[in-house]
Structure 1
């Protein structure tokens, strides 16, 4: 079993889900008392969130590279950035260490294409929905047609993530707001919806959507176990 290196704490609410999924999946596949072999570098998200909203991406790149180096020093053989937004700095991680990085968008796109879908809605932070680092990978590398919510809906989706989900707050009113955003994306032709923030799984499930949901947290973790157990 390869040792996984998790760059987490962004937020720890979703990192905890990674830890659970990784260990449950190894136990499911190997049985008995087997569990995942992993290392976790967990940031204080308060500092990360402040730098994000200040647009200090160069400073964040330094932080991410240092986290990758710490995991490499600990013996990690495959890296995971346990957040969609911070994949904006995936190149900073791959430039810092020779350890391969499993990009969160790739297993997500693979599942969407395996399901025969082409036009997909994307929910996430404003950074993920509006900037090119994530949408561009889905479109140019994987050939998907990506839809994002309109400006007001993007503001709502982003606010709920940062004001509620990253602190573990799950509200019925916010779930309903997301359901309505999803419905509007479906009305525009979305055949499925990417939950493109690792905390959204805490709020929304398949029962809340008329089209398939693609939970990036779960898909990323399962792909990591595929790689870790590939003998």
Structure 2
């Protein structure tokens, strides 16, 4: 089994999901008392969120690249950024280390392909929905990516940062995101991407009205394919 190096803390809520799911799914694949071989570097999210707010992606890239170097030095065989938005800094991380980065958008594209869909609705932070780093990667894989309207994007962004990243789960927000999904499907989407690793804390992908990819879980599966391959 190869050792995975996790850059976590962005947010700690979803990093917990990664840790639990990596270990549970290794046990499912190998049986018995098996668990994942992991090294976790968990950053303080508050300074990173402040840098995101002013769009200082150079500094966030420096922080993540340094974390990746430390994970590589500690013996990691691959890097996992436990977040969607921070894959905006994937190029800086890849340039900082000799080991591979397992990209969450590639894992998402593979999961979408397995479902036979083509027009996914991307639910994510405002950065992930509006900037090209994520959508373009999916579109190069053959998908026509839809996003919610501007008002829905702002509402979803606020739910993620003000609630989910802080461990707050509200019924009203569950209804609001469900309404956003319904509007997206009415506008032509044939599937749904939980493109923020915290959305799975609010909604159950299996209960959605269209095929849905929870990116955190897709990323976990891709990481385990590497670790156990």
1:171 aligns with 2:173: no
- Give the Å deviation of 1:63: 0.2
Structure 2 distance, partners of 1:66, 1:159, is: 29
Residue 195 of structure 2 is aligned to residue 199 of structure 1: no
Give the alignment's Cα RMSD to 1 decimal: 0.8
Report the alpha carbon displacement of residue 207 of structure 1 after superposing the two structures with TM: 5.6
Query: Residues of 2 paired with 1:115 and 1:151: CA distance?
Result: 28
Q: Which residue of 1 aligns with 2:208?
A: 209
Q: Answer yes or no: is 1:219 the counterpart of 2:218.
A: yes
Work out the CA distance in 1 between the residues paired with 2:98 and 2:75: 12
The separation in 2 between residues aligned to 1:151 and 1:110, in whole angstroms, is: 28
Q: Displacement of 1:111 after TM fit?
A: 1.4
Instruction: Please state if 1:65 is matched with 2:72.
Output: no
Partner of 1:98: 98
Per the alignment, residue 48 of structure 2 pairs with 48
Q: Paired residue for 1:129?
A: 129
Give 3-state SS (helix, strand or coil) of 1:16's partner: helix
How far off is 1:206 after superposition? 3.2
Unmatched tracts of structure 1, length 5 or more: none
**Partner in structure 2 of residue 229 of structure 1:** 228
Give 2:8's aligned residue: 8
Give the TM-score normalised by structure 2. Answer: 0.98
| C-alpha contact (below 8 Å) 2:205/2:214 kept by paired residues | no
How many residues end up aligned between the 2 structures? Answer: 229
TM-superposition CA deviations, 1:50-99 (whole Å, max 9, x none): 00001111111110110000000100001100000000000000000011
Q: Is residue 123–residue 197 contact of structure 1 (8 Å, CA) maintained in 2?
A: yes
* Aligned partners of 1:179 and 1:208 also within 8 Å: no
Q: Equivalent residue of 1:79, what SS?
A: strand
Whether the 8 Å contact between 1:77 and 1:100 is mirrored in structure 2 is yes
Gaps of 5+ in 2: none
- Aligned partner of 2:151 in structure 1 is 152
Provide runs of 4+ in structure 1 moved above 3 Å: none
**For residues 206 and 138 of structure 1, what CA distance do their matches in structure 2 show?**
19
The superposition leaves residues 100-146 of structure 1 with CA deviations (integer Å, 9 ceiling, x where unpaired) of: 00000111111111211111100000000000000010002x01000
- How far did 1:209 drift? 2.4
Scaled by the length of structure 1, the TM-score of the pair is 0.98
Does structure 2 retain, via aligned residues, the 8 Å contact 1:39–1:76?
yes
* CA–CA distance in structure 1, aligned partners of residues 158 and 207 of structure 2: 19
* Secondary structure of the corresponding residue to residue 32 of structure 2: coil
CA contact (8 A) 2:83 2:197 kept: yes
